Structure 1
Amino acid sequence: MLMHTHEARLDALRRELKSQNLDGFVIPICDEHMSEYVGEYAQRLEWLTGFGGSAGSAAVLAEPQTGNGAAIFTDGRYTVQVREQVSGELFDYEDVPANSPAKWLAEHAQQGMRIGYDAWLHPIGWAESLDAALKAKGAELVAVASNPIDAVWADQPSPSGAIAVPHDDTHAGRSSADKRAEIADWLKEEGHDATVICALDSVAWLLNMRGSDVANTPVALSYVVAHADGTAELFIAPEKVTPELTKHLGNAVSIRDRADFVPALGSMAGKAVAVDPGHAVAGVFHALAAAGAKVVRADDPTVLAKAIKNPAEQQGHRDAQARDGAAVARFLRWLSLEAPKGTLDELSAAAKLREFRGLSADLKDTSFDTISAAAGHAALPHYKVDEESNIPIPPGSIFLCDSGGQYLDGTTDITRTVWIDSADGSAQPTAEMIDRNTRVLKGHIQLAMARFPVGTNGGQLDTLARMHLWQAGVDYGHGTGHGVGAYLSVHEGPQRISKPGGAFAGTSTELAAGMILSNEPGYYKQGHFGIRIENLILTREEEIEGAEGDWLGFETLTLVPLDRRLVDKALLTDEEIGWWDRYHAKVWNTLSPQLDGEDLAWLKEQCTSL
């Protein structure tokens, strides 16, 4: 039945393409703000194909030449998932980066073909690259006036109408006026008249505003044009604006209808306007160019400032982590009692964790969909449990849980890998499981303890987390660390800890005091088990006796016990054992005042020295 549904949708799209005189079309997972997570109205790829992952795209030809005449493109995180959710009779499976929609279309395009794309859903660099590839084949890339998916998606949801709300300066640590003044200084120094801010978390940060238009990320659908005189224009649907928001923004921020955004870009003739090609869609560039503006490609000036957390944001993160740690500790104790009975499944475990987090009145949302992964599912780093994929959590197995919360004062992200015992307490993890977990732990500790000179980037630190796995001839296929926002996006740039180059490219952004990252090495044995240990870490200045120059290190923010049943103490150095004991002493000191009864007794047992 599901295959017939998507077959009918694909047929409808092809008829619409022909009516628009198009020979093909590209469908990404994206919205007009290039968001990582998008609202239901923008889930065009899932509607067309059934694919529910967070990264992917498809290309469809109006008239199939060879094969299906349609392909879906995903990276290694979704190799299994895409085959479970998308029919191979409708779409060819293509792996990224070995292939891409641009390569596929250039290969299939013929002389005179018109390939459509929605300029409000793709980066400008992507559009320019595909345009060049198609021109070489005598074909043409066409920016559509209206998205053909929207034309055939009869019950497409409307964008969220939720109100936008002020984010108090006590949590933000800086006023919006102060942030706008800093951007105005940058614009004047660079000789620009204005900059267009499109990324939803950048808008939220700049105006100290939050919303609930996107699941897991507290942002409001809107754009900002910031001017060199310190004023700004906010483009947002009128129903989202309250008197409280208007008062909060003040006279220097004019509030305009979101529908006025494109006309406003069209009125900027002769002005030098800075736009970030990594955070603004091609449609913005096209509109400014058509207006006769001088378009300058420059980094979004909020991104680095947002990444470097001020003292209020740093303390907010510590406070949020303490509350979140208590919730996760309660969950792990509950799991240790209930899972050995064999009555739990992945969904019920995720729901119980949400319930424990919800005991805090400060919780606003989860920061992403919980990865509740049992047995072989734990070997899928970005597994997403749903009614179809849900399986029981078997006693005598590894369970991996990656989750997080959104609190007014911080965003959390934690992964714990635990051993699920049998009902009689006799089940034991295998020697391989213990070895792999201990090697992941060693890498985690080495990164947590790292000291490095100012000027170091995340790519230079990545090896610390992998080296003990490499010695055993194994590795993991994802990055080691991503940036994290302050009651904003759980995945925040520009900093990152990962291998340089490849599908999970590292970053040349230098780490700076105030940046928060994840520390999450892992190991995955396909079909059997997976391991990941994740804490959030705060980059801070380090005082080293006799040091030459300025140095940095990390403060571990996440405070939840680690499972000692999966640790071979003999593989740890004295230094690593010392880190373990200090970490668990801090866990005890932070969480014990929040717990009582059996939860407190469980915590004490988990926090005894190794």
Structure 2
Amino acid sequence: MFQSFDTTASPEYGPARLAQLRQQMQGEGLAGFLVPRADAHQGEYVAPHDARLEWLTGFTGSAGFCIALRDVAGVFVDGRYRTQVKHQVDTGAFTPVDWPETQPAPWLRQHLDAGRIGFDPWLHTPGEIARIEKGLQGSGISLAPCPNLVDRIWPDQPEPPTGKITPYPQTLAGEAHTDKLARLGATLRNHGQSAAVITLPDSLAWLLNVRGSDIPRNPIPHGFAILHDSGQATLFTDAAKVDEALRAHLGEAVTLRPVAAFAPALRSLGGPVRVDHDSAPIWVLHQLDEAGVPHEAGQDPCILPKATKTRAEIAATREAHLRDAAAMCEFLCWFDAQPPGTITEIDVATQLEGFRRASNELLDISFDTIAGTGPHGAIMHYRVTHDTNATLEDGQLIVLDSGGQYLDGTTDITRTLPVGHVGEEEKTCFTRVLKGLIAISRLRFPRGLAGRDLDAIARYPLWVAGQDFNHGTGHGVGVYMCVHEGPQRLSRMSEVALQPGMILSNEPGYYREGAFGIRLENLIVVQEAPDLPGADPRPMHDFETLTFVPIDRRLVMPALLGDDERDWLNAYHAECRDKIAPRLSDEARLWLQKATAPI
């Protein structure tokens, strides 16, 4: 099994660890200390070595941070984790804080009159620190870079990862890494910049056509790079990750150096140097400033090229999604044969991984499978453990959110399934969520619009019923890369224009705490929309659907669907049947025939 079901959160240790942290703060003359979820690479997922927030507080979510003061410690979490955090931290020691509604600076002003707040400059970006400092102007509170105080009190902190870095086939990438280096080097020259600092692991993986194994579920390597305007690059990484195959792949365009050489290399640059203030650690700016190296704020040059997939990447990921859909259908056939009360959440996750493994092409799951039945379904990022494992009982819904990592693509799919006979209220809410998914799937929109312009369209069927969900409608997805990839999102916070080749999730939901959860998710890719007769001569985009797994018809209230929505669902199911049936066992093929019958 790729997935384990051990309990990792340890809220019972939180108070004692917080007391130790406060002793360190006192010794440094600090009034507080920032403990982020992030690592030095600002990735969403972190290695065990960097799981400081989890170790201190017990909170295991993929976003959030703690501000520990001498008499209060706030754990800041967004809408995805507000139910989860209450189960994972000792609320006698830590106070959950709704974020981003409550920002760090106002919270600090509320709880502190004056004092220095320490932070590890490796773990925070210039943009993050600048926003907090701006909010603290006129107060007696200041931020102070300092050594990491959590590392000082973590006696058995795991070692940093040293996973091998491996070449990624150019046939799947669609472009040689030397061509990428030359293209982006020319971009730097055109902006009058001599170099760019690259710190995001997925940017390194994309730029150099490599993959790694430093982060569970995400095939990316840890390291840093300096991209020069000449089209040459220097990669700073642990020597244990490098072998002759990698050296041969990188060739003369890439120089390999140890991580210890990163600081001297930064200090020796001529400038101006591009630094992404939203992803690089502020430590990078400290090195450049101390050496007098000119630098400019600018987006990581890999971000948009990585997000807009090549034809080869899109073709590859289409095949990965068809393979994954076949595994899902085999699983759903098995699931429907299990009577209520006979299987558990762990059984569901285990069986699904087994069907994915049967392809002999699964390299990992793309995240820990979310299999939440009944009230657990309302915990958006629920992770089943041996301690929480629940039996699927008659009348419940189960939210099943899962995905696979294949060499040719990364998948992410959510289906909400009925256990036995489900009530009318659950079916009504399910149909509203389905209407939101269909609306995004059918959408045509003018070129230049961003995720914030589309997000509300998926929510409208819920809004008119006085309902909503506390997460974005969709996130970006990589190709054998991170299952959460920026900058593209379907979210009211995303201002990045959607461009052809961007892969996104389409996943509206609805959650009733203590009762049930609903989420449906397909992956989609932005494409140029075909012309329509009589339409204005205005460039338009639409979405190609990549995911082909039936949506459970037993939960659909047909009377709530319009004719166009019903036609879309029937056409989608017909396409699922045509594309996936040839890949299935005889039993699963019969199941698929019934599951995709027209409504």
Determine the structure 2 residue equivalent to 1:244. Answer: 245
Determine the structure 2 residue equivalent to 1:470. Answer: 463
> Residue 36 in 1 paired to residue 44 in 2?
yes
How far 1:133 moved relative to its partner? 4.6
Deviations 1:343-385 (A, max 9, x none): 2221221121111111122211111121111011112222222
The answer for unaligned runs of 5 or more in structure 1 is: 422-426, 500-504
Map 1:352-391; keep pairs closer than 5 Å: 352-391=351-390
> Residue 537 in 1 paired to residue 524 in 2?
yes
Determine the structure 2 residue equivalent to 1:592. Answer: 581
SS in 1 for 2:571: helix
Determine the structure 1 residue equivalent to 2:207. Answer: 206
Counterparts of 1:101 and 1:470, CA distance in 2: 30
Give 2:15's match in structure 1, choosing from 3, 7, 16: 7
More off after superposition, 473-482 vs 313-322:
473-482
Map 1:145-294; keep pairs closer than 5 Å: 146-268=147-269, 270-294=270-294
Structure 1 residues 318 and 188: alpha-carbon distance in aligned structure 2, compared to 1, 3 A threshold: same
Give 1:91's match in structure 2, choosing from 84, 94, 100: 94
Counterparts of 1:301 and 1:288, CA distance in 2: 19
Letter in 1 for 2:242: V
SS in 2 for 1:415: strand
Alignment TM-score, normalising by the size of structure 1: 0.93
How many residue pairs align between the two structures? 589
Letter in 1 for 2:480: Y
Structure 1 residues 458 and 97: alpha-carbon distance in aligned structure 2, compared to 1, 3 A threshold: closer
Contact 1:134 1:141 in 2 (8 A): no
Counterparts of 1:581 and 1:481, CA distance in 2: 23
Letter in 2 for 1:606: A
Structure 1 residues 240 and 97: alpha-carbon distance in aligned structure 2, compared to 1, 3 A threshold: same
How far 1:15 moved relative to its partner? 2.1
Contact 2:450 2:497 in 1 (8 A): yes
Counterparts of 1:281 and 1:93, CA distance in 2: 26
Structure 1 residues 475 and 281: alpha-carbon distance in aligned structure 2, compared to 1, 3 A threshold: same
Counterparts of 2:479 and 2:553, CA distance in 1: 31
Identity percentage over the alignment?
44
> Residue 105 in 1 paired to residue 108 in 2?
yes
Contact 1:411 1:484 in 2 (8 A): yes
Counterparts of 1:100 and 1:388, CA distance in 2: 34
How far 1:497 moved relative to its partner? 1.3
Deviations 1:385-427 (A, max 9, x none): 2233322221221111011111111111100011111xxxxx2
Contact 2:395 2:423 in 1 (8 A): no
How far 1:134 moved relative to its partner? 4.7
Counterparts of 2:541 and 2:136, CA distance in 1: 48
Map 1:110-129; keep pairs closer than 5 Å: 110-111=113-114, 113-129=115-131
Deviations 1:413-467 (A, max 9, x none): 100011111xxxxx2x222122211121122112111112222222222232122
> Residue 523 in 1 paired to residue 510 in 2?
yes
RMSD of the TM alignment (CA)? 1.7
How far 1:175 moved relative to its partner? 0.6
Letter in 1 for 2:481: L
SS in 2 for 1:496: strand
How far 1:100 moved relative to its partner? 3.5
Structure 1 residues 266 and 8: alpha-carbon distance in aligned structure 2, compared to 1, 3 A threshold: same
More off after superposition, 401-410 vs 329-338:
329-338
Letter in 1 for 2:312: A
Determine the structure 2 residue equivalent to 1:136. Answer: 138
Map 1:442-481; keep pairs closer than 5 Å: 442-481=435-474
Determine the structure 2 residue equivalent to 1:424. Answer: none
Structure 1 residues 2 and 376: alpha-carbon distance in aligned structure 2, compared to 1, 3 A threshold: closer
Counterparts of 1:266 and 1:389, CA distance in 2: 51
Alignment TM-score, normalising by the size of structure 2: 0.95
How far 1:4 moved relative to its partner? 5.3
Letter in 2 for 1:497: L
Letter in 1 for 2:523: L
SS in 2 for 1:531: strand
> Residue 332 in 1 paired to residue 319 in 2?
no
The answer for unaligned runs of 5 or more in structure 2 is: 1-8
Counterparts of 2:352 and 2:76, CA distance in 1: 33
Counterparts of 1:184 and 1:4, CA distance in 2: 51
More off after superposition, 73-82 vs 515-524:
73-82
Contact 1:237 1:259 in 2 (8 A): no
Give 1:47's match in structure 2, choosing from 50, 55, 58: 55
How far 1:94 moved relative to its partner? 1.8
Letter in 2 for 1:319: E
More off after superposition, 554-563 vs 576-585:
576-585
Give 2:499's match in structure 1, choosing from 466, 489, 512: 512
Determine the structure 2 residue equivalent to 1:502. Answer: none
Contact 2:36 2:64 in 1 (8 A): yes
Determine the structure 2 residue equivalent to 1:344. Answer: 343
Letter in 2 for 1:57: F
Determine the structure 1 residue equivalent to 2:5. Answer: none
Structure 1 residues 523 and 263: alpha-carbon distance in aligned structure 2, compared to 1, 3 A threshold: same
More off after superposition, 173-182 vs 123-132:
123-132
How far 1:138 moved relative to its partner? 2.7
How far 1:248 moved relative to its partner? 0.4
Structure 1 residues 334 and 70: alpha-carbon distance in aligned structure 2, compared to 1, 3 A threshold: same
Contact 1:109 1:134 in 2 (8 A): no
Counterparts of 2:350 and 2:284, CA distance in 1: 41
How far 1:484 moved relative to its partner? 0.9
Letter in 2 for 1:394: E
Deviations 1:318-347 (A, max 9, x none): 000001001111111111112x24122212
